[in-house]
Amino acid sequence: MEKMGPQVVSKPQSENEKPESHKSTSPESDETKSQTERLSQPLRVSVEDIDEPVPHLHLKTYLTVFSVCLIYIAQLINVVGAGAVS
């Protein structure tokens, strides 16, 4: 099986943004250009970066698991007892 790499998410261009060839070279545009370059780079998101919700276990969950385990123990005792009788 091949290992999957990180997903690449790119930001779509909005209609208000001008192409970089039409921008002027004033000092103000250098700051805007660096922000635009930073936004135009693809965002890399990996599985480890996504926060998973922490499960909240209720008393009903513990009670259900304990009941199932108790039923399994009762069945085991029943089978062993039936084998001992025969």
Q: What is the per-residue pLDDT across 50-61, written as a single tens digit (0 to 9) for each? A: 888 888 899 999
Per-chain mean pLDDT for the chain: 75
| 15 within domain boundaries | yes
| 73 within domain boundaries | yes
The model carries a pTM of 0.39
| 18 within domain boundaries | yes
| 43 within domain boundaries | yes
| 65 within domain boundaries | yes
- Name every residue whose Cβ is closer than 8 Å to that of residue 40 and which is 6 or more positions away in sequence: 11
| 21 within domain boundaries | yes
| 68 within domain boundaries | yes
Q: What are the CA-CA distances from residue 45 to residues 8, 10, 40 (Å)?
A: 7, 11, 15
| 1 within domain boundaries | no
47: left (phi over 0), alpha (psi -120 to 50) or beta: alpha
Domain count, the chain: 1
Domain that holds residue 29: 7-85
